[in-house]
């Protein structure tokens, strides 16, 4: 036999479920001694914000057991504002901004107006109440209202239908949840370790590739390959012979302190190997509506960051007016971000425009594989000063990129390296995708455990 939640003004249709006959479905306010709100001391009084009392906000709810709060206030701040000090181990829920987040802290703390402290009656286990809130977090998010920030009203919170099991069964349910969650946590932790190892593996593949380790055996089997020092001479000679209007004789890189590379390789700079220039977005203001909404993809720094190597997707486009004050870069251009996300790289898989926060590199001969250059820049991202010793600053600009030393393998070896990188990274990414799916299933299983718990199916009925 089961009891079904009856609909009514105080009950929520979306939370209807069957529960055992010895349970009750009651408004949340029926199982609470009190609901305590909070507030924010005046920011105009800096003295309020140098005290010993933890003051909790939604930003402290990144974990369910925060070790400390970001902000601390004084006793005077508590006295002169609407905040309240909450006893240790109290269930605290976010009713605005981070709807449905819940924490318990082992210390007394004040709270702001976006949080509510729930004080349950003696017949409600705190952990049972906390896990129930976790189980309905998505529902709370769905009923939130507000134009800029979603929130739920106090009367909505109080009227939520709460599945009240006998106290002894609540404790058994909590024990079973924690036992099953512990197993899940161990499994997920193992998956995360594998993902971390895969990340290190991919970095190691790139590092080995750009110093010649991946093709060591290949070089032993190909003794008559033209050294890349000769290749670079030919590249420069061809560029001079082509009579490029924009080409100017480029100096080579400073190689002091650079990693050792194979004898058949050489160091070069991006301007030696092709065109290196900033993107264009001349019009002011940059957000003028007439510039946007046309047929020309407009790539921004975030698009480069999320491209995972090749850019085929974009979030904005230029109109004809936008194109007039910009430049349409060809497919195959290497994009390097120099603002917002520093030194992210990806290759255009489409013709596109981009602003001056992105630098474009176009290899101007068939002898340089832009994919190899992109892979190298990934390895150099966090240490570009090592490859441009003249600068010690952390940010980069066009002048710094002009001096970055690029390892240049022989032409055929570039293609072999790129093929080997892509083969190994492809395998790693397949494994990573499988891990992500498994972690998603683990999260769904976590929710399924909670659904069973609060419908009376997790703890056997015979144990009641």
Is 70 exceeded by the pLDDT of residue 4?
no
CA atoms within 13 A on the CB side of 225: 21
3-state secondary structure of 404: coil
41: left (phi over 0), alpha (psi -120 to 50) or beta: beta
Residue 392: per-residue pLDDT: 43
Is 70 exceeded by the pLDDT of residue 384?
no
What is the fold of 2-164? Adenine-n6-DNA-methyltransferase TaqI; Chain A, domain 2 (3.90.220)
Is 50 exceeded by the pLDDT of residue 8?
no
Q: What is the spatial distance between Cα 377 and Cα 335, in angstroms, rounded to a whole number? A: 11
- Whether 159 contacts 10, CB under 8 Å: yes
Residue 163: per-residue pLDDT: 96
Residue 248: per-residue pLDDT: 66
The answer to whether 2-164 and 226-409 have equal CATH topology is yes
Residue 348: per-residue pLDDT: 98
Average pLDDT for the chain: 90
Is 70 exceeded by the pLDDT of residue 17?
no
The answer to whether the peptide bond before residue 285 is cis (omega within 30 degrees of 0) is yes
Q: What is the spatial distance between Cα 233 and Cα 226, in angstroms, rounded to a whole number? A: 11
Report domain extents, the chain. 2-164, 226-409
3-state percent helix, strand, coil for the chain, nearest multiple of 5: 40, 20, 40
What pLDDT band is residue 1 in, cutting at 50, 70 and 90?
very low
pLDDT single digits (tens) 300-312: 999 999 998 999 9
- Tell which residue, 334, 356, 358, has the closest CA to residue 286: 356
- Tell which residue, 13, 426, 438, 371, has the closest CA to residue 210: 371
Task: Estimate to the nearest angstrom the gap between the alpha carbon of 39 and the chain centroid.
Answer: 31
Residue 266: per-residue pLDDT: 96
State which H helix or E strand residue 24 sits in.
strand 24-27
- Whether 79 contacts 121, CB under 8 Å: no
Query: CATH for 226-409?
Result: 3.90.220.20
- What would you measure as the largest C-alpha separation in the chain, in angstroms? 91
pLDDT single digits (tens) 25-52: 999 999 999 999 999 999 999 999 999 9
Is 90 exceeded by the pLDDT of residue 450?
yes
**Which range (23-27, 213-217, 254-258) has the least confidence?**
254-258
3-state secondary structure of 178: helix
- Between 16 and 259, name the one with better pLDDT: 259
Instruction: Tell me how far CA of residue 106 lies from CA of 92, 189, 337, in angstroms.
Output: 12, 25, 44
- Between 418 and 242, name the one with better pLDDT: 418
State which H helix or E strand residue 348 sits in.
strand 345-348
């Amino acid at each position: 036999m089961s009891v079904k939640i009856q609909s009514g003004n105080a009950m929520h249709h979306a939370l209807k479920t069957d529960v055992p006959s010895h349970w009750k479905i009651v408004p949340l306010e029926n199982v609470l001694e009190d609901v305590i709100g909070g507030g924010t001391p005046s920011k105009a009084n800096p003295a309020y914000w140098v005290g010993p009392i933890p003051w909790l906000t939604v930003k402290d709810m990144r974990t369910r057991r925060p070790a400390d709060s970001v902000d601390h206030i004084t006793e005077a701040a508590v006295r002169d504002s609407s905040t309240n000090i909450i006893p240790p181990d109290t269930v605290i829920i976010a009713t605005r901004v981070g709807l449905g987040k819940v924490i318990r802290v082992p210390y007394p703390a004040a709270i702001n107006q976006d949080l509510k402290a729930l004080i349950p009656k003696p017949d409600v286990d705190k952990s049972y109440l906390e896990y129930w809130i976790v189980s309905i977090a998505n529902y709370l998010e769905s009923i939130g209202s507000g134009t800029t920030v979603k929130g739920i009203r106090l009367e909505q919170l109080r009227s939520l239908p709460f599945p009240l099991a006998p106290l002894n069964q609540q404790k058994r349910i909590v024990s079973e949840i924690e036992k099953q969650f512990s197993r899940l946590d161990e499994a997920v932790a193992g998956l995360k370790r594998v993902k971390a190892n895969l990340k290190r593996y991919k970095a190691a593949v790139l590092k080995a590739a750009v110093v010649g380790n991946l093709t060591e055996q290949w070089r032993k089997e190909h003794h008559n390959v033209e050294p890349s020092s000769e290749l670079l001479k030919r590249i420069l000679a061809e560029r001079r012979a082509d009579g490029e209007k924009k080409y100017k004789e480029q100096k080579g890189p400073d190689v002091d302190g650079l990693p050792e590379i194979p004898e058949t390789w050489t160091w070069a700079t991006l301007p030696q190997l092709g065109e290196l220039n900033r993107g264009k977005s001349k019009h002011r203001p940059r957000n003028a509506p007439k510039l946007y909404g046309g047929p020309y993809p407009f790539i921004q720094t975030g698009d480069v960051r999320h491209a995972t190597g090749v850019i085929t997707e974009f979030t904005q486009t230029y109109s004809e007016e936008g194109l007039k004050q910009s430049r349409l870069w060809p497919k195959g251009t290497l994009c390097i971000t120099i603002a917002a996300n520093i030194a992210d790289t990806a290759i255009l898989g489409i013709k596109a425009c981009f602003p001056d926060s992105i630098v474009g590199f176009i290899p101007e001969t068939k002898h340089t594989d832009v994919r190899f250059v992109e892979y190298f820049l990934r390895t150099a991202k966090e240490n570009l000063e090592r490859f441009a010793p003249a600068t010690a600053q952390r940010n980069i600009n066009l002048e710094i990129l002009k001096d970055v030393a690029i390892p240049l393998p022989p032409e055929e070896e570039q293609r072999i390296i790129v093929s080997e990188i892509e083969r190994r990274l492809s395998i790693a990414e397949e494994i990573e995708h499988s891990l992500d799916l498994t972690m998603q299933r683990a999260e769904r299983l976590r929710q399924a455990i909670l659904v069973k718990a609060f419908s009376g199916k997790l703890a056997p009925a015979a144990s009641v």
